[in-house]
A and B are shown apart, each in its own frame.
Chain A
């Protein structure tokens, strides 16, 4: 056992896994509210990261205000997307709406390439120190920050759904749209809020990964990795999304370890999550925490 390699990989897996978990939660948020499988989830990361990069390099904003501005922009972006593109689709078959999200995904990938080019662009240096030592391991500060923010977001989601007026209304909408409307809940408003939160929180992951690896269309691939996470956890389970995200993050890094130590196939970590995906679809298609009767696409 090469613990020199294994321990950092596991730490990395947990950090990346919480990021997957956060994006997976955003995906589930939209699915629960409106039964829409959002194939454009990865593009939320992409757009968010590019916007943040643009604000930091073009306007020389410091990281924190630039990041907050990005979140505000992404919130408006989510609402706009829902109102302009998806609201007219209300009443159409769900599968049509899902096709539209695939279209959105392609559109925004192309638009970002048109606006910012096809090459990887690095973020300006965000933190003074390149790495900090935690329990003898060197960890990038942005990862530490993202871990803290991710855990806060997860706690925030739990509080939002359990205790707030809007959170309750969103759960009611997810359970029974017509009954929710009879209680005076505006279903359209709930949809808009779910897209706004989803876009905003997803962009956080985009910015973090962008700061570490640079911004490029590779980022939307991160969104695709979220599929194994949500399918593993169950499409309609917030807890499942977090667990699924962590598992996918760890599986990825364990695959890297196995690959580098024994197999030497190369790039096993990229496909490993999708082995999990295939396996879970064969064994337990509704996921670990999902409701059994949900429709599968």
Chain B
């Protein structure tokens, strides 16, 4: 029995798995071209890539919001806790415990902080919503002081409200789309600290889409890099952060030579991944 502890832990069962997913918008525009990824339960997984690579589309394919943009999964499957999510309406997916925090926060500007939080609990019918509002405000003390309309909150506060609103649904998996967008470096630190806390204290699994690759890889245990609708590289976050190509293209440093936009060679190396 003692020998068992010496063997490496078996990989945790995946909470979410995308198998060879293909997504088409308006019946003609192919955006995801056979994408596969795995998110183990209780982990933070980062999904990185350039603009237009299909990161947000991947999240919308999971949350069902694709439907609202005339997109559809044409091949492959999205498995959550062993069940297929493709074809379900967004509200059915939220009820199963998958919650997307959309890019740009999308809080309801003409409602108060508390009303926004209550909206997050829309799918719940229990009587603990009031207690949960208190609990969420405990995570975001600065929201407690804001009694006016949410539209007047600063960008960082709006992001915290968007995350708090997600917590109100008591999700198992949060899909987070660019939480650092438009925030000052200091606020980015704060938001990522909260993401880590939610993962550690509440055990919420997080799939994190980010432009800020450095912060994302520091928070995540595993990372995927996608380009033009496909995963081109994946590995443990620490390994990715050390990878020369990732350093050069996403972390803004690496190699011995100074980078230049005129440097055609780096462009060619990037192409090799496809």
Residues of A within 8 A of B (CB): 91, 165, 168-169, 171-172, 175-179, 181-186
Within the assembled complex, what's the spacing in Å between the Cα atoms of A168 and B123? 12
Would you give the shortest CB distance from B88 to chain A, in whole angstroms? 12
Of the A-B pairs whose beta carbons lie under 8 Å apart in the complex, a sample of 24, sorted by A's number, is A165-B122, A171-B110, A172-B119, A175-B108, A175-B110, A176-B106, A177-B68, A178-B68, A178-B102, A179-B106, A179-B107, A179-B108, A181-B91, A182-B90, A182-B99, A182-B100, A183-B119, A183-B120, A183-B122, A184-B90, A184-B94, A184-B95, A184-B99, A186-B91
Nearest residue (CB) in B for A177 is B68
> Are A181 and B65 closer than 8 Å at their CB atoms?
yes
Per the 8 Å Cβ criterion, residues 34-85 of B in contact with A are 63, 65, 68-70
Within the assembled complex, what's the spacing in Å between the Cα atoms of A185 and B106? 14
Q: A168-B111, A168-B122, A179-B108 are in contact. List 20 more A-B contacts (CB 8 A).
A: A165-B118, A168-B119, A169-B119, A171-B108, A171-B111, A172-B108, A172-B111, A176-B106, A176-B108, A177-B68, A178-B65, A178-B106, A179-B106, A182-B65, A182-B99, A182-B100, A182-B102, A183-B94, A184-B90, A184-B99
> Are A168 and B115 closer than 8 Å at their CB atoms?
yes
Residues of B within 8 A of A (CB): 63, 65, 68-70, 89-91, 94-95, 99-100, 102, 106-111, 115, 118-120, 122-123, 165, 169
Nearest residue (CB) in A for B115 is A168
> Are B65 and A169 closer than 8 Å at their CB atoms?
no
Q: Which residues of B contact A168 (CB under 8 A)?
A: 111, 115, 118-119, 122
Within the assembled complex, what's the spacing in Å between the Cα atoms of A184 and B94? 5
Q: How many A-B residue pairs have CB under 8 A?
A: 64
> Are A175 and B89 closer than 8 Å at their CB atoms?
no
Would you give the shortest CB distance from A179 to chain B, in whole angstroms? 4
Nearest residue (CB) in A for B90 is A181
Q: Which residues of B contact A182 (CB under 8 A)?
A: 63, 65, 90, 94, 99-100, 102, 106
Q: Which residues of A contact B100 (CB under 8 A)?
A: 182
Would you give the shortest CB distance from A56 to chain B, in whole angstroms? 39
Nearest residue (CB) in A for B125 is A165
Nearest residue (CB) in A for B93 is A184
Q: Which residues of B contact A175 (CB under 8 A)?
A: 108-111
Within the assembled complex, what's the spacing in Å between the Cα atoms of A177 and B69? 11
Of all A-B residue pairs in the complex, the 7 with the closest CB atoms, nearest first, are A184-B94, A179-B106, A184-B123, A181-B90, A184-B91, A186-B91, A175-B108
Would you give the shortest CB distance from A159 to chain B, in whole angstroms? 14
Would you give the shortest CB distance from A204 to chain B, in whole angstroms? 28
Q: Which residues of A contact B89 (CB under 8 A)?
A: 186
Within the assembled complex, what's the spacing in Å between the Cα atoms of A169 and B125? 14
Nearest residue (CB) in A for B69 is A178
Given contacts A168-B115, A169-B122, A186-B89, contact A181 B68 (CB under 8 A): yes
Within the assembled complex, what's the spacing in Å between the Cα atoms of A142 and B111? 38
Would you give the shortest CB distance from B225 to chain A, in whole angstroms? 25
Q: Which residues of B contact A178 (CB under 8 A)?
A: 65, 68-69, 102, 106
Would you give the shortest CB distance from B159 to chain A, in whole angstroms? 14
Within the assembled complex, what's the spacing in Å between the Cα atoms of A169 and B119? 7
> Are B68 and A185 closer than 8 Å at their CB atoms?
no
> Are B109 and A185 closer than 8 Å at their CB atoms?
no
Within the assembled complex, what's the spacing in Å between the Cα atoms of A178 and B115? 18
Q: Which residues of A contact B119 (CB under 8 A)?
A: 168-169, 172, 183, 185
Within the assembled complex, what's the spacing in Å between the Cα atoms of A91 and B169? 28
Within the assembled complex, what's the spacing in Å between the Cα atoms of A218 and B189? 66
